[in-house]
Amino acid sequence: MFFPEGQVRVFLYGEPVNMRLSFDGLYALARHRMQEDPLSGHLFAFINRRATQIKVLYFDRNGLCVWAKRLEQGRLIGNWDSVTTCEMDWTGLKLLLEGIEPKRVRKRYQKNLVFIGKNHSGDPSFAL
């Protein structure tokens, strides 16, 4: 399944999950613990206690899908104390799947609005 990168919302569950859970169990965690709708088409990522396995739950047009990945070496996250239930972008999930723990990083460039005057109706005009 291919996702348009700008439209995908990814939710990471901030507690270790038993990897024996499948469709119904992961659906219940997303619905009741994360307070999100699993049928929305967003991605929900769940990681086990040792941080060597991840499952991603999402709803396709006609049913629930689960991706699973098990690392042969290394860990997906370094410390459970620093993990909280949060929303991340598609790039963050791709980094996590590659073994790179995404951290909160500030943007390099920030678009600033510049006041350029008033338009013909007297309203202020701004430019990027």
pLDDT in tens, 66-100: 999 998 888 888 777 777 888 888 888 888 888 77
Residue 17 lies in a domain: yes
Write the pLDDT tens digit of every residue in 4-54: 556 788 999 989 999 999 999 999 999 999 999 999 889 999 999 998 999
Residue 116 lies in a domain: no
Residue 125 lies in a domain: no
Residue 110 lies in a domain: no
Global pTM? 0.74
Q: Is 94 helix (H, G, I), strand (E, B) or coil?
A: helix
Distance CA 43, CA 66 (A): 10
Residue 67 lies in a domain: yes
Q: In the chain, which ranges are E strands?
A: 10-12, 43-47, 53-60, 63-70, 86-88, 114-118, 124-127
Q: Is 34 helix (H, G, I), strand (E, B) or coil?
A: coil
Number of domains in the chain: 1
Find the domain containing 38 and state its range.
8-102
CB 52 within 8 A of CB 71: yes
